[in-house]
Amino acid sequence: MKAGSLTVMLKSKIKVIGERDIHIEHDGKKLKLKNDAVIICAGGILPTAFLKNCGIDVETKYGTA
């Protein structure tokens, strides 16, 4: 973050996750940002079954790029 290669948007609200972009609301502004991948940190236990039932591909990696 300090180097400028990462933007942290705490307390953002995810509105839409598209194939190539994401729509969020941050500080009262609606933003559409391009993305290659989405990382979901949803608490201590990943809701894998729920995400798969929503049609979301889930790939778990342990320390690999």
Kindly state the greatest CA–CA separation across the chain: 38
Q: How far apart are CA 41 and CA 33, in angstroms?
A: 19
Q: Which residues contact 37 (CB under 8 A, 6 or more apart)?
A: none
> What is the full per-residue pLDDT of the chain (65 aa) written as tens digits?
788 787 888 889 989 988 899 999 999 999 999 988 777 665 677 778 888 888 888 877 776 55
pTM here is 0.53
